[in-house]
Structure 1
């Protein structure tokens, strides 16, 4: 019967896998990684919160596609939380972690990846439903969209918890991987292959939908009444989704390939030297998505810009209360004009939600 090592700290497993975490994460390198990582995480929190708020405020976005896009932003926000937790539990600290804390660290990362991947699959289903009818948006009800979002997170949490539930090498120490010292190599192979296959399927599905939309748009455009912008709307949304998917595949594929090589026990592949940079590349994906949304969607960009402007105006008005009061008291006509300007500015802010 194999001996289990649940009571060991992570230094036991790192020493067995010959992973030197201390020398790689000290001094200047550690400071640079933490500074860059912290900046990225702050941007992830701010920008993805802005995307979610824009979808909530602007009635133009109250459709299934944008609800799912907001959920993708929520997955990126969750990824930022996972990276923050990773930053404070990596490097020399890694060897001092308990098994459960290390499982939590990796589980957060796995959950964020699965949430993004599953959400893109659900968006593919929603786009297929709408585009087969040549509509801009599908007729999914809010209840069904809510169930789909709950389904996404249920799958993500389950996949992130699989190693904790038993698929690990704590009772079979010879099967442990190098990059993830308490993950079984068999699990890494399953994890990476399933994700890479999902990438391939999504790329094929989106390409087919894109070609279908392009062909139908070209055929129907001369015979369809209505504005040109309305006929092009399905194509614009597809371009946004495909850009997001492309960035996701580019940022995550290198890291998954490295994990696959580790699962296959490739000792000559030098996976230890590139793991840190591929992790930062995966982090970059959560930074890129809000930029893609605002760049590819004019309404999204306009809504986000108005929200930032209105927030700045509110901050400035809070910093000058005495000046406002003295202006109103000293000059009634100027005060009235100031009130009118304030009302008009508030109206502009409120119109961003319409």
Structure 2
């Protein structure tokens, strides 16, 4: 209101001068810059990191990033295949764990796209391509975070009833997974839908030159609050399971391993959650400081390393699954062994055929070995 009154007073007192000034002012306020390339925004925000990603540094980052992404694709695909193949994993918890692996796989795709659109290339991007680059990263983070929240609900439903797995049907789990990805895609598209600074350059951040500082504050705070809530919930569930297990163990029948299964699953989830919080919190804090317009924090020099730390999280999760879950480890091991055995059988030279024909004993032994190998591979799915 004060702004409108001041403009009207200037128009009344100084019609000739104020008319020109205000026309220019309002045209600047209403001007949007969707047609600009990113160099316009990088130069305006004094961001020099795009030029730093050149030469040897860029080659090292690309090599390390490529290795990480290949491992992310392979290991998370293995986790998803293990859940599909082994009937022991056909429960809601493991379906959600496979979806978390799918989120990590998607993160690998986002990092590959980032690697080919970073460094000197950053300033040549269009606004829409830059939105796509950042939107993929935001979507992968939201998918992982939302998935962990849903796993927390699933664990709470089962643990409070002292069951290994909840009673969620496959239909409900499928709907939950679709809901997770719908939320992730929406959150990744929020800046593109309008919460940006393309029409108000004074609100632009430094690390993300076309993101509004208010959006960065919202994004960082919402994720940090979600981290805190999940840590509290999982600690509460963990203490409940530990107390109940200690109380009921002397009075319950069944094997020790069966009674310890809920605790083993909780340790697996808590390890995954801990790695997620450790890898993502520094980057979110940096975004929060940028949103608060902290110009003396030296954020430009640390953001790339925190981005690599976030990439490391998608690489760590499959290692945690295989290390903490013996059944998952054995299934993945058998799948790798069977795959390598099948490749070896296909690549054997043709001289084996002549050996089989000339030496019947060797041939029969080779046949028995092949049958035993295929039997082992088939047993891994049971």
Q: Name the TM-score class by shorter chain.
A: over 0.9
C-alpha distance after superposition, 1:187-242 (max 9, x if no partner): 00000000000000000000000000000000100111111111110000000000
Deviations 1:34-72 (A, max 9, x none): 111000000000000000010011111111000000000
Please say which of residues 15-24 and 138-147 is displaced more in the overlay: 15-24
TM-score by length of 2: 0.92
Q: Where does residue 195 of structure 1 map in the other structure?
A: 223
Flag the 1:93–1:284 CA change in 2: closer, same or farther, 3 A.
Answer: same
Tell me if structure 2 keeps the 8 A contact 1:21–1:94: no
Q: Which runs of 5+ in 1 are unaligned?
A: none
The alpha-carbon deviation at position 23 of structure 1 amounts to 3.1
Is the partner of 1:321 in helix, strand or coil? coil
Specify every segment of 5 or more residues in structure 2 that has no aligned partner in the other structure, as ranges. 1-28
2:295 partner SS: coil
Matches of 2:123 and 2:137 in 1, distance apart? 18
Residues 158-185 of structure 1: per-residue CA shift (max 9 Å, x gap): 0000000000000011100000000000
Residues of 2 paired with 1:326 and 1:95: CA distance? 63
The separation in 2 between residues aligned to 1:324 and 1:216, in whole angstroms, is: 60
Query: In structure 2, how many angstroms separate the alpha carbons of the residues matched to 1:11 and 1:75?
Result: 31
Q: Is the 8 A contact 1:21 1:92 kept in 2?
A: no
Alpha-carbon deviation of 1:338? 1.1
CA distance in 2, matches of 1:224, 1:83: 49
Superposed displacement of residue 331, structure 1: 2.2
The CA RMSD measured in Å over matched residues stands at: 0.8
TM-score (norm 1): 0.99
CA positional deviation for 1:84: 0.3
Q: Which has the larger radius of gyration?
A: 2
- Whether contact under 8 Å (2:78, 2:332) holds in the other structure is yes
SS at match of 1:178: coil
Q: Is the 2:50–2:118 contact (alpha carbons within 8 Å) kept by the matching residues of 1? A: no
How many residues align? The count is: 354
| SS of equivalent residue, structure 2 residue 206 | coil
CA contact (8 A) 2:49 2:300 kept: no
Aligned to 1:312: 340
Instruction: Give runs of ≥4 in structure 1 deviating > 3 Å.
Output: none
CA deviation map 1:1-34 (0-9, x unaligned): 4210000000000000000134311111111101
Query: Is the contact between residue 192 and residue 259 of structure 1 (CA under 8 Å) also seen in structure 2?
Result: yes
